[in-house]
Amino acid sequence: MTAQPASDRSGVWWLSPTTITLVVVAAAVLPTALIPDASFRAQWDTPKAITTATCLLFLAGGLALALGALVVAAARRTVPGHGRWPALRPDEVDLLRRCSTVLVTLTVVGYLAFVVAAVRGGVGLGDLRASLGSEGLYGADIKERTGTVPGLTTLTQVGLAAAVVSSLLLCTAPTRRELGKLVLVVGLSVPRAFLLTERLAVLELVVPVAVVLAARFGAAGRGRAVVRMLPAVALPVVMAVFAAFEYSRSWTFYRATTGGGFLRFAVERLAGYYTTSLNNGQLELLHANGPANWPYATLEAFWTAPVIGQVDLYQSLSGGPAVDSLDVLTVYANPEFSNGSGLAPPFIDYGTVGGLLYFLAAGVVAGLLYRGFRESHPAGLLIYPVVFIGLLELPRYLHWAQGRALPAFLALGVVAVLLHRAARRTPAEPRPPVAAGRG
């Protein structure tokens, strides 16, 4: 076996769970700690509740997660397989193509269910036009009138799994058909994000695709420098996309009362989603503990899963209903900024020491998946791009614990098992190593 070139071993710095966690948590918590109460009230119409002690607690949670991932990285050096990453064999490519077709089909069924629900709720062309006009998105009230179709609209979240599989195929054996599948899945998420006020629906697809492509083109060659600088390029792009959505979502309501123009408004609004999320985390720590203090927020995907949620297993076991974070924030915060922080739930569910241990364990899992991602092991290859969403959005969401992430994890878990079985049936064929400098 010929050793891999050094350029193939180093990876992409910002894909590391240790690095991204440290950067994101520090960038969110430190400015929030420094912003005074008067600015909170003036810019986001809510008092500053978060304390210095809570800011330090949240920083400690981020450090614990980063430490867990760092321990995994230090335990054993990553050894990428031979061939261009993701180093899939022809039989694995064929399997992934079949899985991709199934996943995209399920996703389309989910979106068709949303269309049926919208028609059933009386949403018409007039409502869609209103969402683009001066009445604003809330005037049309599309999301509330659309609702969901249990068991069917949830399938839209399988699109996350479809995006991961299609991205891996495009890195290995690109075809127009596979590119069309990916464009379809991402394209369907755009009207959903806009009309149903779910910007996360687009983010959940774009981030895993970016992770896979960055790992592919950042391994070696001319694309390496570009991939390393991608965060600097992505920031203004994210700002532009956010501003485009916010123009019709909230600017129509504030343009007459806000000074400084739309650009300043959009920047302050984006910053507000992070600072108020951390501020809301403080409110959740104070008011969101359940009657028996059973873990809920970190296990939300389990408690709200089909059947388990319908029989209300949580209330049966704990002796009372779970405290709804949205209800807490409606009472104590500005309802426009209703995201609770992803850094708060482990401390709510398990206390200070338990929360730190939770983050440490999460870091170990993320570190193992990242190693598997770089070494082209099925579980890491498929699941780490989804986990990366949770690392990136940790100040605002505990993404991997939410019910919306469960369909993707289940779908990718099944695909990972199928890939693993395929690898056991077919011995790996030796491949020539990739020469340094090739993309």
Examine the pLDDT at 7 and tell me if it is beyond 60: no
Q: Please check the confidence at residue 63 and state whether its pLDDT lies above 70.
A: yes
Query: Is residue 435 pLDDT above 70, yes or no?
Result: no
Quick check: 193 pLDDT over 70?
A: yes
What pLDDT score does 82 carry? 66
Average pLDDT, the chain: 84
Question: Distance between terminal CA atoms of the chain?
Answer: 21
Distance CA 163, CA 186 (A): 8
What pLDDT score does 111 carry?
Answer: 93
Mean pLDDT calculated for residue range 110-137: 72
Percent of the chain past pLDDT 90, that is, above it, reads: 49
Read off the tokens for 322: 């779970």
pLDDT of residue 158: 96
Q: Round to whole Å and give the CA distance between 242 and 266.
A: 8
Please determine, for residue 245, whether its predicted confidence score (pLDDT) is greater than 80: no
Specify the pLDDT at position 139: 40
Which helix or strand (DSSP H or E) is residue 73 part of? helix 52-75
Q: Which residue has the tokens 């036009």?
A: 129
- Residues in CB range of 195: below 8 A, 6 or more apart: 128, 131, 137, 142, 143
Per-residue pLDDT, 140: 46
Model confidence pLDDT, tens digit, residues 372-391: 999 999 999 999 999 999 99
> What is the predicted pLDDT for the residue at 81?
65
Three-state DSSP state, 331: helix
Q: Which one, of 403, 278, 261, lies nearest residue 339 by Cα?
A: 278
Instruction: Give residue-wise pLDDT tens across range 261-319.
Output: 778 778 888 888 899 999 999 988 888 765 556 889 899 999 988 888 888 888 888 87
What's the rounded mean pLDDT across residues 135-147?
60
| Coil/strand/helix, residue 376 | coil
Site of tokens 């408690």 = 303
Among 147-151, 193-197, 289-293, the minimum mean pLDDT is found in: 289-293
**Which stretch, 117-131, 173-187, 191-205, 248-262, has highest mean pLDDT?**
173-187
pLDDT of 289 reads 64
Q: Note the pLDDT of residue 281.
A: 92
pLDDT at residue 427, as a whole number: 57
> Residue 356 has what pLDDT?
98
Decide if 211 contacts 15 (C-beta within 8 A). Answer: yes
pLDDT value at residue 6 = 36
Output the DSSP codes for 186-238: HHHHHHHHHHTT-HHHHHHHHHHHHHHHHHHHTSSSTHHHHHHTHHHHHHHHH
Structure-block tokens of residue 74: 């230090």
More confident residue, 301 or 194: 301
Mean pLDDT to the nearest integer, 123-144: 59
Q: Given pLDDT bands bounded at 50, 70 and 90, which one contains residue 130?
A: low
Which has more pLDDT, 131 or 208?
208
For residues 110-115, give the mean pLDDT.
Answer: 91
Query: What is the distance between the alpha carbons of residues 343 and 334, in angstroms, rounded to a whole number?
Result: 19
Asked if residue 370 has pLDDT above 90, the reply is yes
pLDDT at 390: 95
**Backbone φ and ψ of 165, nearest 5°:** -65, -45
Mean pLDDT for the stretch of residues 138-164: 81
What's residue 132's pLDDT? 57
For residue 41, how many C-alpha atoms fall within 13 Å in the half-sphere facing its CB? 5
The answer to whether residue 126 scores a pLDDT higher than 70 is no
| pLDDT, tens digit, 9 for 90 and up, residues 200-219 | 888 899 999 999 999 998 86
Residue 414 has pLDDT above 90, yes or no: yes
| Residues sharing a CB contact under 8 Å with residue 248, sequence separation 6 or more, in sequence order | 131, 132, 136, 137, 194
DSSP 426: S
Which pLDDT score is estimated for 201? 86
